[in-house]
Amino acid sequence: MTEVADAVVIGAGPNGLVAANALVDAGWDVLLVEANPEVGGAVRSAEVTAPGFCNDLFSAFYPLAAASPVISDLDLAAHGLSWRHAPAVLSHALDDGRAAVLSRDPDVTAASVDSFHAGDGEAWLRMFAQWRRVRDPLLDALFTPFPPIRSGARIIRALKTAGTLDLARLAVLPVRRLAQESFGGDGAAVLLTGNAMHADVPPDAAGSGIFGWLLTMLGQDVGYPVPQGGAQRFAEALASRARARGALIRTGARVERIETSRGRAVGVRLHDGTRIAARRAVLADVDAPTLYRDLVGFDNLPARVRRDVDRFQWDHATVKVNWALREPVPWRSEAAHGAGTVHLGVDVDGFVDFAADLTVGRRPARPFLLFGQMTTSDPTRSPPGTESAWAYTHVPAGTVDEASALDDHVDRMTAAIERVAPGFSGTVLARSVQSPSDLASADSNLVGGAINAGTSAVHQELVFRPIPGLGRPETPVPGLYLAGASAHPGGGVHGACGWNAARAALATERSGKALRRALLRTAWGRLLRD
């Protein structure tokens, strides 16, 4: 072993960076090793279309970060992060020229959904009022390790028994059913469903309702902010804070192996053979299958882990297109012009068709697109009068491996945009396409172009995430913690996976550690016994 640190953190995605910050705050010395030449994981930006156009390469809008107590407590403004907002949060543009709009002003959203069906505006405001009542304990429950005992009690206090039962029902309700029960028109339904589809749960499947409700209400509450100057600035603010407090960050250093001694994680080995010893813990911002199969090795794990990893379900693959546009997008609907995010390509029923295509492995003929207007959100992203834009959609794994299939799918995406913004193609100055394999080679956690480190379906959430177990960051290997988005609460830039892993490592090392370690050993032993 040539180097030593209290903790080695593998991976400088947002979760790894948050974990490093939490550990240095507690006085540990931390070495963070990142495979890529730059920090950020799926929070990066670069000029990949035309000079002067900043393109976010993966994630772009950060409602979860804005709502996350973990991120806000880091005071990243002191490290150069500043948030910008588009005039409107989000719009869903329908092929018939209508569009629903989500604004940070609840009355504006209410008026928009009411224009689809009288009475939906009132229903919207009621839904938002319910969100406001439960928001703080709910976010605490979501962002802390399972089970959320204290925040659960606060939820019950805020909602009483009947309201808590309603919330529990919402947690398993399909988003299509949620929209039908709550609203008469399509405006609110497409807003809820489009937001639900940021995860991979079909709109008629249990569990999609809570995603749609959560993201829509967050958009209503905190907006969909973007970092001024590009996603990279967010990652750099996290890295700058960690460095300022003493963390060492080494880029261009891929971990190939987690070293164990008598069953405990004691360090890592890099691709060039360098060894780094960890006195106290190894935290891995690495997808769970790669961590267990390649970095630890099944031989060092109970047999049951191999079975569970073999049936780990990835979320769908992704095709992303980035554009430099010489002028703003020629939307048919006025409501889409000021929105940071525009959903398009499908209507309420079209969401079901799209999800069904993904489920059966058919490349969707009419894809659902998430479209980002980055200069509308942050004028520094491209020269005045132009637009830096992107869109992504999902495809079943393996269906765009051939160049011709990828080209055809990009044509389908462009056709969907042309239906709601005729003349769009004529505004394109330059374009760059990211296939599923491009995404995976830029960030090895995006396996097969999956963006959420594993499905968000109920069978892989809470105590089933990433594999049936404790729903906590501790792994069956003492001293090794899962800090990436394969852990609860999953994908999205909120930092909770990294924070929870760091808190778990710190707690295990504090006084009473022997008892805590023994309890963990017993729990894993029972869970993984064949």
| Parallel/antiparallel/unpaired status of strands 99-102 and 88-93 | antiparallel
Min dist CB 370 to ligand FAD, Å, is 8
Under rule CB under 6 A, residue 142 binds ligand FAD: no
CA dist 516 to 119, 208, 470, 473, 501, Å? 54, 35, 14, 14, 15
Among 28, 53, 58, 481, binds ligand FAD (CB under 6 A): 58
Backbone angles phi, psi at 259, to 5 degrees: -85, 135
By CB under 6 A, tell whether 62 contacts ligand FAD. yes
Choosing from 23, 24, 34, 324, the residue that interacts with ligand FAD (CB under 6 A) is 34
Residue 43 in contact with ligand FAD, rule: CB under 6 A:
yes
* Stated length of the chain: 530
Least distance (Å) between residue 382 CB and ligand FAD: 18
Q: How far is the CB of 487 from ligand FAD (least distance, A)?
A: 8
The C-alpha atoms of residue 158 and residue 140 are separated, in whole angstroms, by 13
Please list every residue from 237 through 276 that binds ligand FAD, using CB under 6 A. Answer: 254-255
Q: Is 285 in the site for ligand FAD (CB under 6 A)?
A: yes
What backbone torsions phi and psi does residue 429 show, to the nearest 5 degrees? Answer: -90, -40
Minimum gap (Å) between residue 472 Cβ and ligand FAD: 16
- Position 155 contacts ligand FAD (CB under 6 A): no
Hey, how many other C-beta atoms are within 10 angstroms of the C-beta on 28? Answer: 21
Which range, of 33-41, 109-117, 178-186, 519-527, touches ligand FAD by CB under 6 A? 33-41
With contacts defined by CB under 6 A, name the span among 4-12, 115-123, 184-192, 350-358 that binds ligand FAD: 4-12
In the DSSP assignment, the letter for residue 60 is -
What is the three-class DSSP state of 280? Answer: strand
What does the alpha-carbon distance between residue 261 and residue 240 come to, in Å, rounded to a whole number?
Answer: 33
Question: Helix, strand or coil for residue 271?
Answer: coil
Judged by CB under 6 A, the stretch of 20-28, 108-116, 329-337, 446-454 that binds ligand FAD is 446-454
Which of residues 164 and 444 has its CB atom nearest to ligand FAD in the complex? 444
Q: Is 460 in the site for ligand FAD (CB under 6 A)?
A: no
Least distance in Å: CB of 445 to ligand FAD?
A: 4
Closest to 172 in 3D by CA, of 213, 139, 131: 213
Q: Residue 495 class from Cβ within 10 Å (0-12 exposed, 13-18 middle, 19+ buried)? A: buried
In angstroms, the CA 285 to CA 117 distance is: 45
14 binds ligand FAD (CB under 6 A): yes
For the beta carbon of residue 313, count every other beta carbon within 10 angstroms.
13
* Minimum CB distance to ligand FAD smaller for 154 or for 254: 254
Residue among 85, 320, 343, 409 that touches ligand FAD (CB under 6 A): 320
Q: Is 35 in the site for ligand FAD (CB under 6 A)?
A: yes
- Which region among 45-53, 206-214, 359-367, 437-445 touches ligand FAD (by CB under 6 A)? 437-445
Residue 294 DSSP class: I
Q: Which stretch binds ligand FAD (CB under 6 A): 396-404, 424-432, 443-451, 504-512?
A: 443-451
The torsion region of residue 331 among left (phi > 0), alpha (psi -120 to 50) and beta comes to beta
Q: How many other C-beta atoms can be found within 10 angstroms of the C-beta atom of residue 126?
A: 12
Q: Which residues bind ligand FAD (CB under 6 A)?
A: 10-16, 33-36, 41-43, 58-62, 64, 254-255, 285-286, 318, 320, 392, 439, 443-446, 451-452, 484-485, 491-493, 497
